[in-house]
Structure formats: C-alpha cells, structure tokens
Amino acid sequence: MTSILPFLATAEGFSLRGTRYVPARPGPMAVLLHGFGAVRTEYSAVFAALARRLVAAGIGVIAYDRAGHGESDGDFFETSVSRDVRHAHEVLAAVAALDGVDADDLHLVGMSLGAVIASVVAAESALPIRSLTMWSTAAVFADEIRGGTLQGKSLAELDSVGYFDFLGMRLGPAMREDAMSFDVYGRATGYTGPVRLLHGTDDFVPVSYAERYLWGYGDRGELIVVDGADHGWAQLPQRDTVLDRTVEFVVANSGLEAAK
C-alpha cells in the first residue's frame, strides 16, 4: 500500500497544505503543480492516480494546493502567476529538506497553468531539477488576458463589479496586472534539463502554444500530441497515455535509472 502523509510548507506567510506519497525507499521526489482554480488531486483525481503510479515506480510525490486554492491559505481573489512561482520556490526548498528526499533528484510535473509555473520554476530554481513534465500547458493565458478575455469570457467585469467570476470563485485584478508583463516563454528557456510536453488534439488550448516551447528547449524538449485528448485528460485511453508517458519519463531521468 502507498503511504500517504500530510505536507505543509509556508510561503510569504501562507500555509500551503498538501499530500506526500512515500515510496518504500528514500530517493527521488516529484512535485506536482495543479491547474488554475483546481486542487492538488486535479480534475477527477488524475494527479492522485499519477502519484500512486510514480510511488509504485519508486518516485516520491508531493502535491499541494497553491495559495487561494483547495485547503491552503489565501484568497483566490489575489491569485497571480508570479505569486505562485515565488511560492513554488519556497515549497521546493521545504521538499528538499525533508528526510528521505534526495535533493539532487527533484522533478516537476505541471498541469495547465501549473505547467507554466513549473516551467519557470525549473528555469529559475537554485535546486537541480532533473526533469520537467508539462501537461496541457496553458501558455495561452497571457495572450488571452492581454486581449481582454479569460477562457473565452470577457474580463470587463473586473472593472464593472471588481472581480471576475471564475467557476464561482472571485478573481481579482492581480491576475490581469501580472499577465500584462509575464514573459511565458522567455522565463522558461533557462531550464537546461529534459522536458516532455503532453497535449491533446481536443484541448481548448491550441497545440501551437505547446510547440512554441520547443523553440527554447531545442533537442532537450519533446512534444507528444495525443489524439482525442481534452484539456483535463478526462477520457480513456488518453488518460492512461498521459500517466504512462509521465511515469516513464520521470523514472528515466531519475537516479533510479542511473543506479541500474
């Protein structure tokens, strides 16, 4: 059975709560970054399924709710990508200090906006990130917001009522202000390790946004386009594909593979 423990980190005064999945032996650790407005288990618990598969392969996992999401402190109203990036660096430092974690064998997996955050953290981290996996990357967010929309809805209500209604949660102006100058691809290109992007043909985010990452990553980057997959990987067998290809990639770039 998988051993599952609570995880807690502090970033800028916020308590960020999560879950730690513990393998049988100490070693590599993958940190999972969920999507915008989601929680650490992700849509229909796909991150929980990923965590169990990674642990079965010998990779420890931590998934946490970002500030203003799930069980973590903070208000969704104040969400911004730059804040999430800053917090993720502090979470990584806390993860690296845990007993049973090899701080030289850390991996990031991001979903949607979490993939954008993971790409920047990987590029800017003082800790060595052995691999970066990006699902359904929502790199479109900056272009959308600069054009006055978010997921197809006008952002005009930010000015008329003071918030944007995102799935029943109040989103404030910080997200819009941050997106105006956020360099999605420029801040990601500093990462020099291996990258695997997985994107579906039925994703509402055009696959071209994933393809653009390869301009910066070059031969270190690989894009797998999965026919019929939507943004949330909410169907089979496409979900099995994203899980299998992620576990395969993380293990292949971990110390477990080197030790064979």
Would you say residue 257 has pLDDT above 70? no
Superfamily of domain 3-139+192-258: Alpha/Beta hydrolase fold, catalytic domain (3.40.50.1820)
Structure confidence by residue, pLDDT tens digits, 190-200:
999 999 999 99
Question: In the prediction, which pLDDT does 40 show?
Answer: 97
Would you say residue 116 has pLDDT above 80? yes
Question: In the prediction, which pLDDT does 172 show?
Answer: 97
Q: Cβ(139)–Cβ(205) under 8 Å?
A: yes
Mean pLDDT for the stretch of residues 227-234? 97
Mean pLDDT for the stretch of residues 123-152? 96
Question: In the prediction, which pLDDT does 1 show?
Answer: 59
Would you say residue 258 has pLDDT above 90? no
Q: How confident is the model at residue 256 (pLDDT cuts 50, 70, 90)?
A: confident
Would you say residue 171 has pLDDT above 80? yes
Spell out the domain ranges in the chain: 3-139+192-258
Would you say residue 70 has pLDDT above 90? yes
Question: In the prediction, which pLDDT does 260 show?
Answer: 61
> Which residues are 158's β-sheet partners?
none
State the number of CA atoms in the 13 A half-sphere of 199 facing the CB.
Answer: 23
Would you say residue 232 has pLDDT above 90? yes
Could you list the beta-strand ranges (E) of the chain. Answer: 3-11, 14-22, 27-33, 60-64, 101-111, 129-135, 149-150, 153-154, 164-166, 169-171, 195-200, 221-226
Q: DSSP secondary structure string, 45-100? A: GHHHHHHHHHHHTT-EEEEEPPTTSTTSSS-GGG--HHHHHHHHHHHHHHHHTSTT
Q: Cβ(199)–Cβ(207) under 8 Å?
A: yes
Predicted structure pTM score: 0.97
Mean pLDDT for the stretch of residues 97-112? 97
Question: In the prediction, which pLDDT does 117 show?
Answer: 98
Q: Cβ(184)–Cβ(139) under 8 Å?
A: yes
151 or 65, which is more confident: 65
Q: What angle do CA 234, 239, 241 make, to 5 degrees?
A: 155
Q: Which two tokens stand for residue 21?
A: 């999945």
**Measured distance CA(180)–CA(72) in Å, rounded:** 26
Query: Percent of the chain, pLDDT > 70?
Result: 98
Amino acid (one-letter) located at 141: F
Q: How far is CA 220 from the centre of its chain?
A: 19
Structure confidence by residue, pLDDT tens digits, 122-132:
999 999 999 99
Structure confidence by residue, pLDDT tens digits, 4-50:
999 999 999 999 999 999 999 999 999 999 999 999 999 999 999 99
**Measured distance CA(111)–CA(198) in Å, rounded:** 10
Give the number of other CB atoms < 10 A from CB of residue 1. Answer: 5
Question: In the prediction, which pLDDT does 21 show?
Answer: 98
Going by their DSSP bridges, the two strands 169-171 and 164-166 should be labelled as antiparallel
Question: In the prediction, which pLDDT does 112 show?
Answer: 98
Q: Which two tokens stand for residue 237?
A: 């067998």
